[in-house]
Structure 1
Amino acid sequence: MLFIRLFTVSCIVSALLACTKQQNEQQAESSTIASSTQVYFEKLKSERVESDPIVKWQNIGPGMSGYNEELWTHPTNPDVMFIAPDMHVAYGTWDGGESWQSIQDHDELGQEMKRVIDIEFSQQDPNYAVALDWNGWIYESLDQGKSWHKLSELSPSYEQYGVDPYDPLAFKKGWYDEQIGMRLSDIAIDPNNDSIWYVGAGDYWNVKENHRSMKKPHGNTLSYADYGYILKSENKGRSWKKIDKDFPENLDVGEIIVNPKNSKHIVMLTNYGLMHSKDAGENWLTQAEGLPHNSPRDITYYFDESSGEHIFYLIEQTHYIPDGSSIKSSGGIYSSADFGESWQNITGNLAFDLSQVNYPAEHWRYFRAIGHWLGIGSNKAKEQYPTLPKSILPVFNRIAVNPLDKNEIYVSYNKKHDRTFLPGEAWQSLDGGQTWKVVARHGKYWLSDQDKAYWDARENPSHANVEFSHVQAYMDAHAEKEGNRLLEFNSKGEVFLSIAQQTHKSSDKGKTWQQIDDIETSPGSGIWIGRGNSDLPGRFMLLDTGIPKRRLLTSGEHGVWETVPMTILDNPQAVALKQIEGQAQVDGMYSISTMAVHPDDPDTLYIMAWRQAHKGKLRRSTDGGKSWQNISTVMETSSERNSADGKVIQGPPGMLPASNSLLIDPTNPNTLFFVNERDAFSEIYRAPRREPTKGGYGFMKSVDGGLNWKVSNTGFHENASLRRLAIDPENPNVIYAAAADKNGGLYKTEDQGDTWQRIAIPDPIKSVNNIYIDKQSHELFISAGGFYDGAYEEGGAWRSKDGGETWQKFFSAPLVLQVETSPVNPKIILLTAGNQMRMDRQFMNPGLYLSLDDGSTWKKINTHLANSDKIIDAKPDPENPDLLWAAGWGSGWYVGYINGANGKPWYQY
């Protein structure tokens, strides 16, 4: 018996020793992992880290769906083009527009090439290109624009002008908080020597902010642009010389053109007229014999290298002159065969009879245009000059000529953002300017065959001829109010426009125009596949929708889209999408901030908008998105707002605060919750704060299915900016709220928001940006860090395994916006790291991070992301453990396959 007892004790001791040994080994292993992870975080902090190829993101669109500001084509290769949309992205294509890829470096800070101003190619080396972005930074490419290297930061920084861009008054001064340098406007390469470059200062092509008038013939000077000089480099941008002798201090340079037959002769398009240099840019004189005002808006040229023929084509700014009860105009289109020394009028019959055009929208735009030019406003213009003119020119701002045909010329304008008018989007001459026709036509005026007799008399077709994708119904219903932004030819004579929020191409001399942003899976299906060039403001993604394989993706400006599982032969891993709310519907809601699905009825959907149509409304569909109705007004604001210096300003109601985290009680679907964010730092525009006249900032609750709402902020700190909510999956009475402000934190309610208590979290944390609860483990995850400021240690990601009693930090970065685990495999964690809006505190490696081992190790996964520093939403798929989704601030949505997911479609797993 003693032997047995001794043996038993011995076994117990041995087992304990073995257990202790195993625990020590596990602790040692854990310590090693923690140590190596900490080394990784230090590396992220101090040096560039390349993305791991474990995930390569695909931009799933929809294509464009934002304003395309510029398009550049390769001088000899028609398959190579670049575009510069307005939402801080830039794309290139090397297959003629069949597909597009971001040309931004996804492993940089996010500032580089986020908005490109100009791209130029060498005439000696077809692979060599240079680019200028809106920070005033210069880049070069050795591979036809597939990759870019930053050479220099040319423009002065804010500090050199004594302005702090992070001062709240910076908005009032006109500075953009994300603008780093001062704006420059043009870059040119000497066609005879690609080591010689020129850069012009200004913001010439910013039509939206720069309207000329009789009182301001030189336009506006903008506080975020630099003026009054050009720069010259003779060693491919490695060093620069500033030239400003005798220039006006607010000289705004539009284009610099070097004579291909004589590099010493340069012509420069400026807001002070056409200027010439005969000594390679050292000295300049204003010369434009034959131009009535020498007030050019745009210039282009035709050059035949074999014959040496060189012809300039130019738009002269339209001037409006009172003529009794009406108005007459001067200006028009001019050409020069002597490199700009003298000019001939080729306006031909471009002027038109407005009295013959029964188009009220154009009449209104006409009175706005002449009222602006005369400085009297549209109402007085209509009162003083009521007679519509029989011969009038609009204000054109773009001109292009076919490089294969000197007689094929196009002119266009931007009716939305410039002070101009005229039916159509572009006019064309095929005979060198003798006769002109409207060649880009869309909208209800052209669909109605209005004024057909007048257009027939001009031998001008009067039917609509512009194709759109999902916005077709919207564009057909309106009167050409969106405007065109660009005009460009490629080397084989195809011409490009950007009407509204799509890019268009004509291959038949303007007879028809096709959008080149999206592919419809079959004609009339309304199901689209993006080509990779999305400018869409991606927003909240609702992935767990109650219906397998249905994912709902919301956006700013383009409503709600749902995934359509279908096999796509060309790319089986592409994602087909269908718009279920927005432009494809009559009277749709466009800018969706949050969305929820009924827990018992997946066909009942709720959405909210913070700007544009139906803002401040709760909108519901009971048929899966086929039809929608507003069921309540949740929020309205006064016409007063506070300026940056605290003064009260009167104005239109404008945008509302962003609404986030629309949630429904799973046990009582009549109870709904959401938060109105006081300071929405991740939205397209940060709206000036206005006091609500209905609703309010903070937590809002409805107990009658969303018909009535009340604000419930008891327990929150003063002026809390609530950003996200999360409901406890086991107890819907328990809700957590993340407060993202300098006094922020984590809050909890146990009575569905009637009262709130602050939860103790680690001391460094101030702003809590997101709260997430894993449905399997019930662990809490918080994401922290200040967006505008905040020390590095204030940011990161923490989790609690005991309901918030204790917290462990598992990721270190100054600004973590979101952490979510895979519902299928909780060891998979996807994390979003942003960048603070301060260049003195830039995180070296913003973007997305993936852990496959419950946060023990991490991989940066930015490959093929645009907007990598501005990912608004990122989630693992609720059904497929190998699938990830992301939404970019201005680059639409993405799908990412872990390890390629065996090449299968997203819905097969």
Structure 2
Amino acid sequence: MRIFQFSVVCSFSAILTACVAGQDVKQDRPIEQAASQISSSNVAYFKTLKNERVDSDPIVQWQNIGPGMSGYNEELWLHPADANVMFMAPDMHVAYGSWDAGNSWQSIQDHDELGQLMKRVLDIEFSRQNPNYAVALDWNGWVYESVNQGKNWSKLAELSPSYKQYGVDPYDPLAFKKGWYDEQIGMRLSDLAIDPNDDNIWYVGAGDFWNVKENHRSLKKPHGNILTYADYGYILKSIDRGRTWQKISKGFPDNLDVGEIIVNPLNSEHVIMMSNHGLMHSHDAGLNWETKANGLPHNMPRDLSYYFDKASGEFILYLIDQTQYHADGKSITSSGGIYQSVDAGLSWQDITGNLAFDLSQVSYPAEIWRYYRAIGHWLGIGTDKARKQFPTLPTNILPVFNRIAINPNDKNEIYVSYNKKHDRTFGPGEAWRSLDGGKTWNVVARHGKYWLSDKDAEYWASRNNPSDANVEFSHVQAYMDDHEEMEGNRLLEVNAKGEVFLSIAQQTHKSVDKGKTWQQVDDVETAPNSDVWIGRGNSDLPGRIMLLDTGIQHRRLLTSGEHGVWETVPLANDNNPQAVALRQIEGQAQVDGMYSISTIAVHPDDPNTMYIMAWRQAHKGQLRRSTDGGKTWQNISTVLETSTERNNRDGKIIQGPPGMLPASNSLLIDPSNPDTMFFVNERDAFSEIYRAPRREPTKGGYGFMKSEDGGLTWKVSNNGFNKTTSLRRLALDPLNSQVIYAAATGNNGGLYKTIDQGEHWKKISLPKQIKSVNNIYIDKQTNEMFISTGRFYEGNNEEGGAWRSADKGKTWHKFFDAPMVLQIETSPVDPNILLLNTGSQMRMDRQFMNPGLYLSQDNGKRWKKINTNLANSDKIIDAKPDPHNRHLLWASGWGSGWYVGYIDGANNEPWFTSK
């Protein structure tokens, strides 16, 4: 058990003769032998890297620079006694802990392992005997324990059945290509509980109960959906802190989906379980079960929580019973609601109170549409038919709630919420609250157009309900103000101090005044109304490509999926002089912004002119330009489009909305003729957010694209490439912009060269073991070429590594050995400083033991692993030394935003210090 802390010369006529569309160009003479620059000490080091865990050198301590969250946070776990201790599990394979009440966050993952541990946590529970002891369950079905309040974790057990038992190998390329993406594989478990009277005793429930995106109940499917990547029909029990487990399935339906297990704090023999088959009880510590819930109209629980006063022994359960919809002439009635039990769940009383509302008094078109979607789904008739069949809006209707939380200090303070984006529900606001035990309820989390308009102030006043917007956001404030509560809330929790937490859209919110106001707690604004932010370290942002040399000394441009483009702001910070302040210059902060950026470039003669492209979401396939430093943006051309046809998992062609575009990379501008621009469309985008195959473009295409009129028109130029070759990155020769190099992966991968700006391409001969080139980089000071090699799905260990050439690609020398090197770049300030990025292959039988980042300060003679504090250490998308400061490094995480790292701490100087 390990505890982890968290250039080839050829004539133009020869190329022209050899270039035939769709065929490979004959290569230069083969390189018979590749010299090695790997010293004997490094040979031993690389062997160790492949076979044993190596701890990171503390020479670099990475700082997550955010922005905070900016992705969906699935869960928040609050310590039952210490309000300073909390954990969150956003959806991009990261997990964070805070021990200062959320003022700062740190990754709780092991930055020195394969990237599998705790990459998406599903539950964290705490001992009631020992406040330092905690247990966690992740979506692999793996269980962990911590003895220091979650600062460090150790893996105890793998509880899920093996992948192969179910015929699915997530690392099998064929299974992958059929659609078994890594976020959809694994026999998932859903809930973890610790006996409050004995923390040696644990329970785990099978299922995927909380998957609100996929698990929608209806009249035809009262038990929800059965998902291929979850396991069902049993619970597990351990009496020795997770060392051994007993599987209990007798009497359970095969599709039992467990949502919550609560051990009665007054009697450990009594265990209460919420499931898709109702509320169940065991009176012999989980061995045998019965269904019993007197007073619940449906016994279809959506959430279960409790209040316990240890001093008085008062134990009260609270439950949401699934809302059901019933035809009533031309309108609809509802049943279900909120219930309370004072006898440990044997009988229940309705505390729904006045929670139902008059939809006919709510002039909110978005909610009317969501209402018809909800009843259409429940009745199985669809939205349009529901609108035609039930045109009269109901005057007393309940939405579908899915979360409930109680103030641990006040049994009468109750909160309920729903997720209007992902669940089939509706309703004004994001959360409702009662201060009188359920007699009366108010909407307490309100934002967006409807509440800002104050349209129905009279109706809400009749309910004694405020009608103003009361939720604060960070950089997405303008975007959220312009929308109709469309993003959804994911969680609802109350801590030991009575502070309430939500996660609306892609931010975490806290209320310290019982829901009167809500503040985002992910970012700190450097000054009021500045729109300059410093993240708190809990970023869930899909970090993409970074452009560091931007023509402006202190401006670095950082791109992202879903949250546009950010620029650094050189702002001194007294509390942390090395903190990086950021301003969003494209995305939610703009009207009609571009969100998922795939590539970026700056005009070589005018740093205020910038170009960006997106492969999904708003403006995908467009070339977008700003001529005023990012203040305003316009689309200047449509470069890519896709058809509505796509292949389903059975290989059949089906119709659907236009799909995701190819991933565009390496947007370059010819410095000698800025009207000439280039980029590549990647066929196999293995490091993108979604690795699903893209649809074949109907405009544009895979491969190399070129414009000669400043980006207004584009053509595909693939003469010399195999049809299935995937071009990943480009590099311009710094001495001759007619010469371009292309790194290619997949079939017929390798390194390609053009001497006529892409009209014709020729494959460069490389050492015979190289089958795929992931990146090409040319040092502008030394003109040395660096390539990064290794395949993501197939291949062997010898294929991968970092190679250099000092003679334009005639000879190559390997100087770093790893199965898959994604990128290597030198410092523009000091070419002796090299930053290298390694990844993990998608192979169960061949895993590199030490993925992540490596630093050399002596031109590659010696290396240090430098993953400390990286949350996505196995999924670094981009990593570069700073162009002005030799002590500064930058990195971009697949789902954890961006990072800055200071070599040897850089004397605690700010990032914008040039030296």
Q: Same fold by TM-score, threshold 0.5 exceeded? A: yes
Question: Counterparts of 2:656 and 2:618 in 1: how far apart (Å)?
Answer: 18
Is residue 2:47 matched to residue 1:42? yes
Which residue number corresponds to residue 371 of structure 1?
376
C-alpha displacement at 1:556, in angstroms?
0.3
- Pairing of 1:13-92 with structure 2 (within 5 A): 34-92=39-97
| Larger-gyration structure (1/2) | 1
Structure 2 unmatched ranges of 5 or more: 1-34
Aligned-partner SS, 2:386: helix
Question: Counterparts of 2:478 and 2:374 in 1: how far apart (Å)?
Answer: 28
- 2:508 partner letter: T
- The alpha-carbon distance between structure 1 residues 619 and 380, as it changes in their structure 2 partners (threshold 3 A), is same
- The alpha-carbon distance between structure 1 residues 382 and 589, as it changes in their structure 2 partners (threshold 3 A), is same
Question: Counterparts of 2:549 and 2:184 in 1: how far apart (Å)?
Answer: 37
Question: Counterparts of 2:637 and 2:747 in 1: how far apart (Å)?
Answer: 33
Which residue number corresponds to residue 870 of structure 1?
875
C-alpha displacement at 1:650, in angstroms?
1.5
Question: Counterparts of 2:843 and 2:357 in 1: how far apart (Å)?
Answer: 52
Given that 1:106 and 1:868 are in contact with CA atoms closer than 8 Å, whether structure 2 keeps it comes out as yes
Question: Counterparts of 1:730 and 1:546 in 2: how far apart (Å)?
Answer: 19
Say which of 452, 462, 470 aligns to 1:457. 462
Question: Counterparts of 2:286 and 2:748 in 1: how far apart (Å)?
Answer: 55
- 2:511 partner letter: S
Which residue number corresponds to residue 325 of structure 1?
330
C-alpha displacement at 1:172, in angstroms?
8.4
Given that 1:33 and 1:857 are in contact with CA atoms closer than 8 Å, whether structure 2 keeps it comes out as no
Is residue 2:512 matched to residue 1:507? yes
Which residue number corresponds to residue 235 of structure 1?
240
Is residue 2:621 matched to residue 1:577? no
C-alpha displacement at 1:317, in angstroms?
0.1
Say which of 103, 113, 119 aligns to 2:118. 113
Given that 1:169 and 1:644 are in contact with CA atoms closer than 8 Å, whether structure 2 keeps it comes out as no
- 2:325 partner letter: Y
Aligned residues: 880
- Pairing of 1:130-169 with structure 2 (within 5 A): 130-167=135-172
Is residue 2:526 matched to residue 1:521? yes
Percent of aligned pairs with the same residue? 78
Given that 1:827 and 1:853 are in contact with CA atoms closer than 8 Å, whether structure 2 keeps it comes out as yes
Given that 2:65 and 2:534 are in contact with CA atoms closer than 8 Å, whether structure 1 keeps it comes out as yes
Q: Which moved more, 1:592-601 or 1:739-748?
A: 739-748
Question: Counterparts of 1:859 and 1:525 in 2: how far apart (Å)?
Answer: 39
Is residue 2:801 matched to residue 1:796? yes
Aligned-partner SS, 2:316: strand
- 1:610 partner letter: W
Aligned-partner SS, 2:102: coil
Is residue 2:594 matched to residue 1:594? no
Once the two structures are superposed, residues 178-221 of structure 1 have per-residue CA deviations (whole angstroms, 9 ceiling, x without a partner) of: 56641000111011110000000000100001000000000001
Given that 1:173 and 1:223 are in contact with CA atoms closer than 8 Å, whether structure 2 keeps it comes out as no
Once the two structures are superposed, residues 16-70 of structure 1 have per-residue CA deviations (whole angstroms, 9 ceiling, x without a partner) of: xxxxxxxxxxxxxx99970000100000011000000000000000000000000
Is residue 2:539 matched to residue 1:534? yes
- Pairing of 1:198-597 with structure 2 (within 5 A): 198-597=203-602
- The alpha-carbon distance between structure 1 residues 610 and 31, as it changes in their structure 2 partners (threshold 3 A), is closer
Given that 2:624 and 2:636 are in contact with CA atoms closer than 8 Å, whether structure 1 keeps it comes out as yes
- The alpha-carbon distance between structure 1 residues 852 and 808, as it changes in their structure 2 partners (threshold 3 A), is same
Which residue number corresponds to residue 133 of structure 2?
128
Aligned-partner SS, 2:39: helix
- 2:696 partner letter: E
- 1:91 partner letter: Y
Is residue 2:648 matched to residue 1:621? no
Question: Counterparts of 2:756 and 2:173 in 1: how far apart (Å)?
Answer: 38
Q: Which moved more, 1:206-215 or 1:173-182?
A: 173-182
Given that 1:157 and 1:180 are in contact with CA atoms closer than 8 Å, whether structure 2 keeps it comes out as no
Question: Counterparts of 1:49 and 1:692 in 2: how far apart (Å)?
Answer: 43
Given that 2:200 and 2:241 are in contact with CA atoms closer than 8 Å, whether structure 1 keeps it comes out as yes
Given that 2:725 and 2:747 are in contact with CA atoms closer than 8 Å, whether structure 1 keeps it comes out as no
Once the two structures are superposed, residues 120-148 of structure 1 have per-residue CA deviations (whole angstroms, 9 ceiling, x without a partner) of: 00000000000000000000000000010
- The alpha-carbon distance between structure 1 residues 169 and 742, as it changes in their structure 2 partners (threshold 3 A), is closer
- The alpha-carbon distance between structure 1 residues 31 and 733, as it changes in their structure 2 partners (threshold 3 A), is closer
- The alpha-carbon distance between structure 1 residues 576 and 800, as it changes in their structure 2 partners (threshold 3 A), is same
Once the two structures are superposed, residues 351-406 of structure 1 have per-residue CA deviations (whole angstroms, 9 ceiling, x without a partner) of: 00000000000000000000000001000000111110001000000000000000
Which residue number corresponds to residue 861 of structure 2?
856
- 1:379 partner letter: D
- 1:664 partner letter: I
Q: CA RMSD in A?
A: 1.2
- 2:855 partner letter: L
- 2:387 partner letter: K
Given that 2:730 and 2:741 are in contact with CA atoms closer than 8 Å, whether structure 1 keeps it comes out as yes
Aligned-partner SS, 1:427: strand
- Pairing of 1:672-821 with structure 2 (within 5 A): 672-821=677-826
Question: Counterparts of 2:831 and 2:820 in 1: how far apart (Å)?
Answer: 23
Question: Counterparts of 1:99 and 1:839 in 2: how far apart (Å)?
Answer: 35
- 1:71 partner letter: L
- The alpha-carbon distance between structure 1 residues 170 and 547, as it changes in their structure 2 partners (threshold 3 A), is same
Given that 1:328 and 1:391 are in contact with CA atoms closer than 8 Å, whether structure 2 keeps it comes out as yes
Which residue number corresponds to residue 908 of structure 2?
903
- The alpha-carbon distance between structure 1 residues 597 and 174, as it changes in their structure 2 partners (threshold 3 A), is closer
C-alpha displacement at 1:686, in angstroms?
2.4
Question: Counterparts of 1:367 and 1:145 in 2: how far apart (Å)?
Answer: 44
- 2:828 partner letter: P
Given that 1:135 and 1:179 are in contact with CA atoms closer than 8 Å, whether structure 2 keeps it comes out as no
Once the two structures are superposed, residues 819-847 of structure 1 have per-residue CA deviations (whole angstroms, 9 ceiling, x without a partner) of: 00000000100000000122221110000
Which residue number corresponds to residue 831 of structure 2?
826
C-alpha displacement at 1:719, in angstroms?
1.3
Aligned-partner SS, 1:405: coil
Q: Which moved more, 1:670-679 or 1:685-694?
A: 685-694
Given that 1:229 and 1:244 are in contact with CA atoms closer than 8 Å, whether structure 2 keeps it comes out as yes
Question: Counterparts of 1:532 and 1:834 in 2: how far apart (Å)?
Answer: 23
- 1:747 partner letter: Y
Aligned-partner SS, 2:208: coil
Q: Which moved more, 1:317-326 or 1:830-839?
A: 830-839
Which residue number corresponds to residue 13 of structure 2?
none
* TM-score normalised over the length of structure 1: 0.96
C-alpha displacement at 1:687, in angstroms?
3.9
- The alpha-carbon distance between structure 1 residues 667 and 33, as it changes in their structure 2 partners (threshold 3 A), is closer
Structure 1 unmatched ranges of 5 or more: 1-29
Aligned-partner SS, 1:263: coil
- 1:339 partner letter: A
- 2:715 partner letter: K
C-alpha displacement at 1:718, in angstroms?
2.1
C-alpha displacement at 1:734, in angstroms?
0.2
Question: Counterparts of 1:211 and 1:168 in 2: how far apart (Å)?
Answer: 31
Question: Counterparts of 1:573 and 1:553 in 2: how far apart (Å)?
Answer: 17
Question: Counterparts of 2:739 and 2:123 in 1: how far apart (Å)?
Answer: 53
Once the two structures are superposed, residues 454-503 of structure 1 have per-residue CA deviations (whole angstroms, 9 ceiling, x without a partner) of: 00000000000000000000000000000000000110100000000000
Which residue number corresponds to residue 656 of structure 1?
661
- The alpha-carbon distance between structure 1 residues 33 and 787, as it changes in their structure 2 partners (threshold 3 A), is closer
C-alpha displacement at 1:776, in angstroms?
0.7
Question: Counterparts of 1:894 and 1:32 in 2: how far apart (Å)?
Answer: 30
- 1:517 partner letter: D
Aligned-partner SS, 2:61: strand
Question: Counterparts of 1:645 and 1:760 in 2: how far apart (Å)?
Answer: 39
